[in-house]
Structure 1
Amino acid sequence: MSSPYKKLSIKKLPVPTEKGTEESRFWKRFKPRCSLSEIASVTSIKFSPIQPFDFAVTSSTRVQIYSTQTYKVKKTISRFNDIAYCGTIRNDGKLLVAGDATGLIQVFDINSRAILRTMKGHNHPVHITRFAPGNTQILSCSDDKTARIWDIPGQETISIFKEHQDYVRAGLISNDNPHLILTGSYDQSIKLWDLRTNSCTMSMSHGAPVEDVLMFPGGGMIISAGGPTITVWDLISGGRVVRSVSNHQKTITSMCFDGSSSRLLTGSLDHHVKIYDVQNYDVVHSIEYSSPILCIALSPDDTNIVAGMTCGTLSIRRRKLVQKELNMSHQNKQPRVGSYKYFTRGQTYSGNKDDFVVESKPRERLALYDRYLKKFQYSNALDAALRNGTQAILTISLLQELIRRDALRQAIVGRDDLSLEPLVKFLIRWINEPRYTSILVDVGNVIIDVYSSVIYKSPLIEKLIVNLHSKVKTEMNLQKEIAKIIGSLEMVAKGSLLTDTTNYT
């Protein structure tokens, strides 16, 4: 008997996923390229604003600059006395600024790695250092609860902001209005400062210690990160909360925008990087890492994502270019080295921005006395070292070298009174200097040995020798008196010790 109920066939509807969306396909093209190991936790990653967009990685007591083409270290700056923080490259790519755990701020020339400026004022670690848009000022944020603006040419503080009640671990200068400074602190507050009045114009409470802050282009809205939450604030309406999103399980440690500021990337201690659409703050993609993330950065051309972790690993993901982007890159590709096109590039060719420039070392110019020494002209070398303006230590070093070569007598013989005068005057000036006495006594003995039979024929040299004898005699008498005083003091000390011992007995 057939059932009165008709068997229904239920068709399963496809579950909507982001797998096939264009957004998802874009972010999935970021494939792991390499993982590099630093000597300690990676605390900061900052890309250069200019091509080829090299990035500075801060870890332990050094800042290393990596190439985005080869992912190899191009420069290493390690002239820090303690742990370094927040190595940041200036807008022109020529300078780098970093703070350290002693409170010191240093500005380096990237090419030579020389220290150009040193700013002292903070007495606790400086975790944030950033260049102002005008490239002549620096923002620093420290654990001494203050933020400062520094003048680079004068190496002095322009403004000090002191209203925070705890560590200041986040800060930036507005690119659109360099008079506006934004800071975030572990006292859970975000403050907006105005350099024109040196005062806080707006204060907001995030509800958790603030780890990072960002400002949208135009300066009308900001984003703060603290705990597992990011909060969007509208500055135009007086600091009103526009959106608060919590998609991480642990503290968010770092944030960054993509090249168009239409996507927000956040890195967290929960091992994840999440990407948000800033229109509605929905998560459009998520990337999982092997360790807690301390810092995250996306290159200005949206081709490289670099993450630094607590274990010291530096993870680099590179986006695979689509055919349209490949065609554009082929059009801009330079001719192969050794090809005909390479040799016919023209005199106006100035090289690529990512070309490795070999630093030319200036040829060292030897001093005049060193050149005479190389030619074994010992007498001329001694004359050159006795000229006015030469440091005494250099002249002594030359005399010591002549003694080592057994050429002192050769350099002194054959002189008239005018050429012998500077050497005797040098003896008179420095023979009582304890560091030089032993060498100059040998030189004086050689002079007397060579010229003892003719000294009386030159009134000039005879007078100088008498002065030298008088100075040596005075020094000897002084040494005798000092020896007597030392002997007396030793007797007094021993007598006092003997008296103390007798009284104790």
Structure 2
Amino acid sequence: MSSYKKLSIRKFAVPIKKDTEESRFWKKFKTHSTLSEAASVTSINYSPISPHDFAVTSSTRVQIYSAQNFKVKKSISRFNDVAYCGTIRNDGKLLVAGDATGLIQVFDINSRAILRTLRGHNLPVHITKFAPGNTQVLSCSDDKTVRIWDIPGQEAISVFKEHQDYVRAGVINDENPHLVLTGSYDQTIKLWDMRSNSCTISMVHDAPVEDVLMFSSGRMIISAGGPTITVWDIIAGGRVVRSVSNHQKTITSMFFNESQSRLLTGSLDHHVKIYDVQDYDVVHSIKYPSPILCLALSPDEKNLITGMTCGSLSIRHRKTTIQENKSREDKQPRVGSYQYFTRGRTYKGTLDDFIIESKRKKHLASYDNYLKKFQYSNALDAVLKETTTAILTVSMLQELIQRDVLRIAIAGRDDASLRPLVKFLIRWINDPRYTSILCDVGEVLIDVYAPVIDKSPLIKNMIESLRDKVKGEVNLQKEVAKVIGSLEMVFAKGMMK
């Protein structure tokens, strides 16, 4: 008979982690409501201006929701295909969004009118963001390019083409708007400098990059690709500081809180995780019913909103105390930051305050400043650029004639500075609107430089071209006069019959 030894099973107590102050803070975000969109929610963006309304991009429309009652205030649906990344400008007046056709549109939020249409990408544009100066737009596209657009001119002033796959992440540094950070499905993160229009640092994430963030200081950046977030030190040449993987599936979006002390990540594994940026430990985790595509935390840290693949928009609201609201109002931005120089612009005053409307000083154009300083030669140079319209250049010439300083503005030039003026005369002297003024300018030009024209072959050839053009125009006018005379005789004879 075999004997069996009796095994004793000892029970070990599993230590239960106590609730921390951090955990209690995030648990205060209770589900307020769940809204339904027409399709997957691809982006959520808060307005920096109180009361912090937010834009939600889904299907072929961008909707502006009220942060107070979470109802739709505006709906912009002027897209021919799926819309992406509806972003509100810092002043809360404009919104920019891209679409699946490669088109970028800038809207006035109040009227929903299209103010600018930016064309250049030929594949879907997934990232559109305003630069800190509010006059430029960053765009990242599936055509592998990154562009910086000038809103008034509706043209791309910088184009970066070194990525080898879809570019699905991009951000401009708030403190230094010349630095642009992008992430691509080619598994690289690149830091671009708009001043040199080149890539300064390139880093490899080892997974298709879905999102990137940059700290305000510009030294540290964070990339998300696959289930991993990686922290990089730019000053150290792109050295990896920390790499953590707490998600089971791809991380689709990241978001900083207002002080950039906490990092929020959303993933296809249905979870939102909150990290402490000191050690990148998870301090709290929230589970959702569907994969998460985007998330946003309101600037006042009262609302946490997530967009999911099923089209649901989950809104979690946190009630705040009077003391907490007061401490937030008393908080001052860091000295020297962009927020510091724009502080107080949203303050409306109280009912007892007497508000004086300030008139914004009009800044003069460069040519007007030169005229004001009696620098006539510099004023003429300022309007002889190729980007300047002809009517503006002719108006400047007419102003110089009326001031009797045209000879002063033209005299004392070398070949390089004289060439733009002669080139302008050759191009526009045949235009009936400008012929009389430009003929006077041409006479003064020849009178001033007649003794030295032969010493410059370039200017001599251009003057000869101008002469030939004027001569051809005179001959043309003579032929036209002959034809008109013949027609008048024919008409007169017909009337006599």
Same fold per superposition (TM over 0.5): yes
Measure how far apart 1:50 and its partner are: 1.4
Pair 1:104 & 2:103 matched: yes
**Matches of 2:328 and 2:283, distance apart in 1:** 28
CA distance in 2, matches of 1:257, 1:146: 26
1:299 aligns with 2:298: yes
Find the counterpart in structure 1 of residue 276 from structure 2.
Answer: 277
Write the distance in 2 (CA, Å) between the matches of 1:349 and 1:134. Answer: 27
Aligned to 1:393: none
CA shift digits 1:80-132 (9 cap, x unpaired): 11110000000000000000000000000000000000000000000000000
What's the counterpart of residue 132 of structure 2? 133
Matches within 5 A, 1:144-159: 144-159=143-158
Distance 2:307 2:279 in 1: 28
Letter in 2 for 1:15: P
Aligned runs of 1:203-352 on 2, under 5 Å?
203-322=202-321, 324-325=323-324, 345-346=351-352, 348=354
* CA distance 1:61–1:144, shift in 2 (3 Å): same
Q: CA deviation at 1:327?
A: 7.5
| Whole-Å separation in 2 of the counterparts to 1:328 and 1:282 | 27
Matches within 5 A, 1:190-201: 190-201=189-200
Alignment of 1:180 onto 2:182: no
SS in 1 for 2:186: coil
The C-alpha deviation readout for 1:446-480, integer Å capped at 9, x for no partner, is xxxxxxxxxxxxxxxxxxxxxxxxxxxxxxxxxxx
Q: CA deviation at 1:322?
A: 3.7
Aligned CA distance change for structure 1 residues 311 and 349 (closer, same or farther; 3 Å): farther
Question: How far is 1:345 from its partner?
Answer: 4.1
CA drift of 1:259 comes to: 1.0
> Counterpart in 2 of 1:57?
56
Deviation at residue 229 of structure 1 after TM alignment: 0.2
Corresponding residue of 1:114: 113
SS at match of 2:22: helix
Note the C-alpha offset of 1:15.
2.3
Q: Distance in 2 between matches of 1:151 and 1:244?
A: 36
1:190 counterpart letter in structure 2: I
Report how far residue 292 of structure 1 moved: 0.2
Find the counterpart in structure 2 of residue 142 from structure 1: 141
Q: Which has the larger radius of gyration?
A: 1
RMSD: 2.2
Distance in structure 2 (CA, Å) of the matches to 1:199 and 1:306: 36
SS in 2 for 1:68: coil
Q: Find the residue that maps to 2:25 and give its secondary structure.
A: helix
Task: Identify if the C-alpha distance between structure 1 residues 329 and 144 changes in structure 2 by more than 3 Å, giving closer, same or farther.
Answer: closer
Cα 1:330/1:283, change in 2 over 3 Å: closer
SS in 1 for 2:209: coil
Go from structure 1 to structure 2 and tell me whether the alpha carbon gap of 1:345 and 1:178 turns closer, same or farther (over 3 Å shift): closer
The corresponding residue for 1:45 is 44
Counterpart AA for 1:30: F
Partner of 1:15: 15
Structure 2 CA distance for partners of 1:323 and 1:156, relative to 1, 3 Å: closer
Structure 2: which 5+ residue stretches go unaligned?
1-9, 331-349, 357-497
Shift of the alpha carbon at 1:49? 1.1
Task: For residues 342-376 of structure 1, give each alpha carbon's deviation from its aligned partner in whole angstroms, at most 9, with x where no partner exists.
Answer: xx9458589xxxxxxxxxxxxxxxxxxxxxxxxxx
Distance change (3 Å), C-alpha of 1:327 and 1:149: closer
How does the TM-score come out when normalised to structure 2?
0.64
Sequence identity (%)? 76
Q: Secondary structure at the match of 2:34?
A: strand
What is the identity, as a one-letter code, of the residue corresponding to 2:289? S
**Cα distance in structure 2, aligned partners of 1:261 and 1:311:** 30
Output the CA distance in 1 between the equivalents of 2:328 and 2:152.
40
SS at match of 1:211: strand
CA distance in 1: counterparts of 2:77 and 2:130, whole angstroms: 20
Give 2:211's aligned amino acid. D
Describe the SS at the equivalent of 1:26: helix
Q: TM-score, normalised by structure 1?
A: 0.63
Q: Which amino acid aligns with 2:298?
A: S
Instruction: Give the deviation of 1:189 after TM superposition.
Output: 0.2
SS in 2 for 1:134: coil
Shift of the 150–13 alpha-carbon distance from structure 1 to 2, 3 Å rule, reads same
Aligned residues: 328
Structure 1 residue runs of 5 or longer lacking an equivalent are 1-9, 332-343, 351-505
CA distance in 2, matches of 1:98, 1:39: 17
Q: How far apart in 1 are the matches of 2:119 and 2:321?
A: 49
Tell me the distance in 2 between the aligned counterparts of 1:330 and 1:224: 32
Instruction: Compute the displacement of 1:312 (Å).
Output: 0.2
Instruction: Tell me the CA shift for residue 330 of structure 1.
Output: 13
Give the whole-Å Cα distance in 2 for the aligned partners of 1:330 and 1:222: 29
Deviation at 1:182, TM superposition (A): 0.4
Separation in 1, partners of 2:158, 2:329: 49
